[in-house]
Structure 1
C-alpha cells in the first residue's frame, strides 16, 4: 500500500512550455511552478516535471515499452477523466478499450498523447487486487 508521505517523481521532455501547461492543466493537473526551461505539475498527487528539450521528442512514440499514467481505484474517477478528455477533445493515442477481457486482470484503459508525444495511460481494474 502506498504511504502518504511519499511522492513519485517523473521527468519527461517537452517541446513548448505553453502548450504543455495547457494540456496538463486541462487534465486537472496543478501547475506547481514554472521556470524558463521546465514546468512542474501535481499529477494526481505525484510530481511530473516537463523539461524543455525540443530536440529530445520521440517523433514516433509507441505504447510499449515507454508510457506513464494513472491507475484509478474508483471506476467513477476513470469515467470522469475519460468524459473530460472527450469533452475537451484531447488527443487520444489509443481509444478506450478493455484489456484481458474475461480474465481476473481485466481492465479499462485509454491512452492520451501530450504535445511532446509522451504517452499517458489511464486505467481501472475491476479487481482491485490486480492493480499491482
Structure 2
C-alpha cells in the first residue's frame, strides 16, 4: 500500500513542553521550526505543533464509547507494525505517561481486531496509536 503523507497542524499552549514530548518521548525527528511552531516527522507524515491558547477540547475532552471505553474526540495517531506498537507502549510506560486508555487489544477475536492505546500530549491533545497483526483488517467491516 502506497500512502501520500498527510499534514496535520495542532494547537499547543506550551510549545516547549510539547516540543520535548514529541521529540524526546515519541522520538520524532524535528524539521523546520520557529519560536511559534515546530514540524515533526510523524512516521513519514508531517505534524506541526503551533503555539495557540488552550482550546475547549484540550480543557475537557469529549468522549464516545467504543468497545466499552471512553474514546476522546478529537484525536489523531498512526497505525504501527505490532512490534513497534509494543515498543512505544513500553517507552510511554517507562516515561510515566498517563494513559487515557491503557494499551490493550480491542475487538479481540472479531473482524478488525487491533491493539490500541490513548494518551494525551502535555497540552491535552489526544493521540491514539494502533496496530493490526493482519493489516488487511484495517478497513474491514
Q: CA deviation at 1:118?
A: 0.7
1:31-73 Cα deviation digits (max 9, x unpaired) = 112212211111111110111112435211133541110111x
Equivalent pair of 1:14/1:51 in contact (CA under 8 Å): yes
Identify which range, 23-32 or 49-58, moves more after superposition.
49-58
**In structure 1, distance between residues paired with 2:10 and 2:72:** 16
Task: State which of 85, 98, 103 in structure 1 corresponds to 2:92.
Answer: 85
Is it true that 1:2 corresponds to 2:10 in the alignment? no
**In structure 2, distance between residues paired with 1:54 and 1:89:** 26
Aligned positions, number: 129
Is it true that 1:52 corresponds to 2:51 in the alignment? yes
**Structure 2 residue matching 1:71: 3-state secondary structure:** strand
**Structure 2 residue matching 1:54: 3-state secondary structure:** coil
Report the TM-score when normalising by structure 2.
Answer: 0.84
Report the TM-score when normalising by structure 1.
Answer: 0.89
Aligned to 1:128: 135
Query: Which stretches of structure 1, 4 residues or longer, exceed 6 Å deviation after superposition?
Result: none
Superposed, which structure 2 residues align to 1:1-132 within 5 Å?
1-3=1-3, 6-25=4-23, 26-56=25-55, 58-62=58-62, 63-72=71-80, 74-132=81-139
1:57-110 Cα deviation digits (max 9, x unpaired) = 5211133541110111x2111111111111111232211122112102111110
Structure 1 residues 79 and 59 mapped into 2: Cα distance closer, same or farther (>3 Å)? same
**In structure 2, distance between residues paired with 1:8 and 1:39:** 16
Equivalent pair of 2:12/2:54 in contact (CA under 8 Å): no
CA RMSD of aligned residues (A): 1.5
